[in-house]
Amino acid sequence: MSRPGLFITFEGIDGAGKSSHIEGLAAAFRAQGRTVTVSREPGGTPLAEKLREMVLNDPMDALTESLLIFAARRDHLRNVIEPALARGDVVLCDRFTDATFAYQGAGRGFDLDVLSTLERLAQTGLAPDADLMREPDLTVWFDLAPEVAAERLAGARVPDRFEAQPVEFFRRVAQGYADRAAAAPQRFARLDAAQDRHRVWQQLTSVFVRKGWLAIMVASQGGPQ
């Protein structure tokens, strides 16, 4: 009997370090014989990657930004996420809808009710259950103070128009994540991302061991270098 797919998302402000752990977790799942699909948002399909470039680099208002992000998300769901879950894959996605509520909602101050409407439109009717609004099975939240994240990002690369925002913007984004986690505590797993990389990895894998999704031996082996 094939195992059901798992949809796991990674969230946190820019500089929180989430991206550096995704491949390590993918390797741990693969070591257990699972097929893993690793993707990101905005992006994950040719169309969504084009929209990503626009969102990250072209000036636009918050509504245009949100519409493009949800358009990219629907294409991503239709062409990558849902087919992978139907095959029984573990899907690891760097950002999903929580990021939209944190960045466009809390960060930009955009209407949360409008975002909820777009969420229902973009994420419903894709899975075998036509009435299901697709949400992650688990969201791993890398929680880090915006001031620390800014230090980590300083000089790393030419910032996109989100990374170039002032610290106050990221304070609002961080609060947006905290609000999302408080509203769905059964879905969120919070990690203290201020710790060193190895300790963050230990926190991360312990979440999956507790859920029975990873074996202890496998979880203790991999990890980002």
75 has binding-site annotation? no
Q: Is 12 annotated as a binding-site member?
A: yes
98 annotated as belonging to a binding site for a ligand:
no
For residue 105, which amino acid is it? G
Q: Is 16 annotated as a binding residue?
A: yes
Q: What angle do CA 121, 139, 141 make, to 5 degrees?
A: 120
Q: Which residue has the tokens 């986690």?
A: 181
**198 burial type by CB count under 10 A (0-12 exposed, 13-18 middle, 19+ buried):** exposed
The reply, when asked if residue 17 is annotated as ligand binding, is yes
Q: CB atoms < 10 A from the CB of 94, how many?
A: 19
- Is 18 annotated in some ligand binding site? yes
**Sequence ranges of the binding site for ATP:** 12-19
Residues making up the annotated binding site are: 12-19
